[in-house]
Amino acid sequence: MTQPSFDPHLSATQRVTRALEGAATPAARHVFTQLFTDGAHAAAQRCDAAFLAGQRLGALQGVCLTLKDNMDVVGTTTMAGGVVCAGEAPAQHDAPVVQRLRDAGAVLLGKTNMSEFAFSGVGINPHHGTPVNPADTSQARVPGGSSSGAAVSVALGLAEVGIGTDTGGSIRIPAALCGLVGYKSTQARMPCAGVMELSRTLDTVGSITRSVRACLTVDAVMSQQPLPTDAANLRGLRFAVPQTLMMDDLDATVARAFARTLRLLSEAGAQVVEIPFQALGDIATLSMPGGFSPIEGYAAHHVRLERGADRIDPRVVARMMLGKGISAQDYLELHNRRNAWIEAAQQTLSGFDAMLSPTVPLVAPLIAPLMDDDDAFFKVNRLLLRNPSAINYMNGCAWSLPCHQAGELPIGLMVSSTAGQDAHLARVALGLENFMHSLHA
């Protein structure tokens, strides 16, 4: 495995000191909900001592990372970006993924801000403020959600890895809008115990980093199922480009970058095949009457809603309440329809190495117009979630890779496949990343 890159001239203690100093700057305002200052320094000192003694603590020895606010860390109350959980019992144990990260030598800097209860693709948080996307220093743009602080912590260089969760794109959306790499694996590969749930059917733990190899290293630690790290040769690979849903309403910058990427891949010898994939247009209807996130989110949080809805983001409350009163019959039929849809989707994508689409159809919108305008907020939220959430519905795996050029706001290329294809998709993602790096060499 290849360790995530960091400055080899700095000790772990020096990197932690720089990260914590950076966390106090205006650019990092609203990124963290909690800093583990003492614990991070202690972990860094252990890593440095082990290094000097010639000892190997693990694949992530000395790597600085952040944890999304919905993950259990022993001794702290899991708040999930909100305030209504204040006073609940602190976690008695680390979430399994958190314990695995510690065991691999990672240095945990703190918990990062997020859309409350992970229920938004925008990243706005009314309780803790909204981290500003570092990609544009002239205007305050959304970071993407729900793993907003996770992405910004990496984009600012405070952390080498941001650990997040992805229910409908919550890793890939902020990765795309902030110009980073995000990976959502097939759900079954990753333990979700100790992670405050939104949708038991869809939630997946993953990471945001600056490279595919770094994500693979972190994934191997969290899943304990290492994926290949040899890149596929793009020549001869077959890529499906769906013409239903995912190409709708692209803004000009995204459309231009995506078309350019497909052209360059074709010129490099890859086969790019446009397919109808009309079933993508059926997801909204099949998800009636509520969809998994509202139904399961309401089930998971109804006690908090009942005791303190006035202390929860009203936009989150509105979406969760859509799941109230759904019958067991409707819920099971929702699963049955999804299972049938997945089987058909697997047949559609059979014979392709991956599916390509824009991760999201627009560049990062400005924060201010979305703060007080519910209609504008929900329109943007639907657009941001639309493409990546289709992969969660498919129970698939997916990467978001940067595909913008200098002078463009960040744009993500989503590289996806069906359930269980993580190993092959990892090789494809490495090949695509190598190819795109070669274009700028």
Residues with a catalytic annotation lie at: 68, 146, 170
Rounded Cα gap, residues 130 and 123, in angstroms: 7
Q: Where are the alpha helices (DSSP H) in 129-279?
A: 148-155, 172-178, 212-223, 252-267
SS3 for 320-339 is HHHHCCCCHHHHHHHHHHHH
Please list, residue by residue across 126-150, b when 16 or more beta carbons sit within 10 angstroms of its beta carbon and e when fewer do: bebebbbbbbeeeeebbbbbbbbbb
Nearest in space to 121 (alpha carbons), one of 440, 434, 419, 390: 390
Spatial CB neighbours of 440, under 8 Å, sequence gap ≥ 6: 405
Phi, psi at 200, each rounded to 5°: -60, -30
Q: Tell whether the torsion through CA atoms of 284, 287, 293 and 295 is positive or negative.
A: positive
CB-based contact 8:68 (threshold 8 Å): no
Which residue(s) pair with 71 in the sheet?
Answer: 195
CB-based contact 399:414 (threshold 8 Å): yes
Q: What is the DSSP string of 390-402?
A: HHHHTT-EEEEEE
Beta strands in 102-141 (DSSP E): 107-112
Query: Is residue 11 reached through a cis peptide bond, with omega within 30 degrees of 0 on the bond before it?
Result: no
Is residue 415 classed as helix, strand or coil in its secondary structure? strand
Nearest in space to 58 (alpha carbons), one of 66, 67, 47, 48: 47
CB-based contact 108:73 (threshold 8 Å): yes
Report the amino acid identity of residue 385: L
Spatial CB neighbours of 104, under 8 Å, sequence gap ≥ 6: 57, 58, 59, 60, 61, 221
Indicate the DSSP class of residue 140: -
CB-based contact 390:280 (threshold 8 Å): yes
Spatial CB neighbours of 369, under 8 Å, sequence gap ≥ 6: 376
